[in-house]
Structure 1
């Protein structure tokens, strides 16, 4: 089930960067973010109504949900949309991958989760692989005058996303809030916060009457937000924020595969090797215990000591509450 959830996340989030590019144009990026999450929240509330899921929570829970909405569905995405105006999509994806490291550190600080040496090494290997894949794009972007602005916006957005991950994990493990309902409320709060910010900034609430904009908005709202975030938060409750965030290391490969088709991206031998490194790191993160058992059956003498050491360092994973959604 973890692998299925992970695959859905990688597929949808790997294609959202193209959707974000489709949103950049005559409409202010912050307004597009407000549209996206208000529409996603509407989809979520319709779904919860069809399933007759309970939607009433005490005020204290709503404050927690509003915090997640501010961090995960509002300010961070506004920063990412503005970041996409300065950087190529591949580089934005790389910056977002730093959420793996942020989640490991923040999980240790706020949730007291032990840091696994295996997770840290695999995350580092994944980032190295991505650097191999996108090295040419990074070099090409160095000449851009907006590089520093884009990088700072991307780093700020990624840090806020990580804080949102920690707050959501806290809501599910300590607050007992179900995934689907809490996601619906958080997206609604995120859309409201963004709308209020746009009103204060004097942004015009217009809609670009083009298939490109409307199709991109619909895809981002339904697939990239409503479905993808419920899936991601369910995975987060099952395996923890550090391992769940490793999906952000895999989906840029999907993004660049689409760039090969639609943007004429040229692959190099180094980029191919980078993809293999990313896939290997993902295998270790997702199925480390299973791989060790398989290695133990194939080469018991070589894997015995390694498996024992790896098991000892494996962090405790809180009991899943994703099923309650």
Structure 2
């Protein structure tokens, strides 16, 4: 089962970055992210109630699910969507692979899990690798502020994602399954975004083009309902640090799609940079796939 969840996460989330790029256009970011999680939440939670799969929850659970909605199903993606306006989707997925480092740091802070010395060395490798990958864009544009803003927002969104992982671990430790917590958290995330839309006066513009509609449905149903359920199930089974190994493989899928659909051009620096990022993340989690429990916990 772990292998199935892992492969689903890699293939689904590795492909969502190009779909996020296709969401860019006339529709404001807040509106696009709201549509995504409103659709996902409205489909998932009633379906769970219909199938009687919703677990009993406490007021404290809902407080944490609200925080999960803010970190995992709203503000992190607001950061990613804005960043996608200036950064190729494949490169954004490389930034997202920093979730491995953030998870190691947050696991130490929230759960007392001491990171090994490899984590710090991996962090150096990852930063150096990212610099190599982004150097052509930054040097070509003369260190354009929009590029730096995109990188910063990508890192902020990744850190919020990591915080959401920590909340999901809290749910798992209390026997709350991802389907229930995700169903509520998606609704809370959508409501939080609705509040921001109302406060900021953001217009709810709609784009009827086939690219926008189909990419939105893919992100809502496949990327969110299926992808997050698979990933957070993996977090509950093997822990956030090991589950984050999936994010190491996202760039391979995402950059392949970015090359085809966005014309991303590879250079020697980008190839070396990607290898350093993958190596750094592999050091954090252990480079041997059996450490994920594929062999011992496959049932």
Q: Which residue of 2 is the match for residue 252 of structure 1?
A: 251
Q: Higher mean Cα deviation, 81-90 or 274-283?
A: 274-283
- Gap change, CA 1:10 and 1:270, over 3 Å in 2: same
Counterparts of 1:3 and 1:286, CA distance in 2: 16
Unaligned runs of 5+ residues in structure 1 are: 292-319
SS in 2 for 1:146: helix
Q: Which residue of 2 is the match for residue 200 of structure 1?
A: 199
CA deviation string 1:44-71 (max 9, x = no partner): 2244245320344222211111111111
Q: CA RMSD in A?
A: 2.8
Maintained 8 Å contact 1:169/1:237:
yes
- TM-score, normalisation: structure 2: 0.85
Counterparts of 1:86 and 1:213, CA distance in 2: 18
CA deviation string 1:207-248 (max 9, x = no partner): 111111111110100111111111111111122222222322
Maintained 8 Å contact 2:100/2:244:
yes
SS in 1 for 2:69: helix
Q: Which residue of 1 is the match for residue 154 of structure 2?
A: 154
Maintained 8 Å contact 1:53/1:181:
yes
Maintained 8 Å contact 1:183/1:230:
yes
Counterparts of 1:55 and 1:68, CA distance in 2: 17
Q: Which residue of 2 is the match for residue 36 of structure 1?
A: 36
Maintained 8 Å contact 2:18/2:90:
no
Q: Which residue of 2 is the match for residue 163 of structure 1?
A: 163
SS in 1 for 2:288: helix
Q: Higher mean Cα deviation, 58-67 or 272-281?
A: 272-281
Unaligned runs of 5+ residues in structure 2 are: 292-296
- Gap change, CA 1:141 and 1:4, over 3 Å in 2: farther
Maintained 8 Å contact 1:91/1:138:
no
Maintained 8 Å contact 1:250/1:282:
no
CA deviation string 1:177-209 (max 9, x = no partner): 111111111111101101111111101112111
Maintained 8 Å contact 1:40/1:221:
yes
Counterparts of 1:209 and 1:17, CA distance in 2: 20
Q: Which residue of 2 is the match for residue 109 of structure 1?
A: 109
CA deviation string 1:143-170 (max 9, x = no partner): 4331232233222222211111111111
Maintained 8 Å contact 1:90/1:134:
no
Offset at 1:273?
5.5
Counterparts of 2:152 and 2:130, CA distance in 1: 19
Kindly name which structure, 1 or 2, has the bigger radius of gyration based on alpha carbons. 1
Counterparts of 2:95 and 2:218, CA distance in 1: 23
Offset at 1:249?
2.5
Counterparts of 2:142 and 2:59, CA distance in 1: 48
Q: Higher mean Cα deviation, 98-107 or 84-93?
A: 84-93
Q: Which residue of 2 is the match for residue 230 of structure 1?
A: 229
Q: Which residue of 1 is the match for residue 17 of structure 2?
A: 17
Trace 1:288-303 onto structure 2 (pairs within 5 A).
288=288, 290=290
Q: Give the paired residue count.
A: 292
Q: Higher mean Cα deviation, 156-165 or 180-189?
A: 156-165
Offset at 1:122?
5.9
- Gap change, CA 1:129 and 1:5, over 3 Å in 2: farther
Q: Which has the higher contact order (CA 8 A, sep 6+)?
A: 2
Maintained 8 Å contact 1:111/1:170:
no
Maintained 8 Å contact 2:74/2:189:
yes
Q: Higher mean Cα deviation, 85-94 or 188-197?
A: 85-94
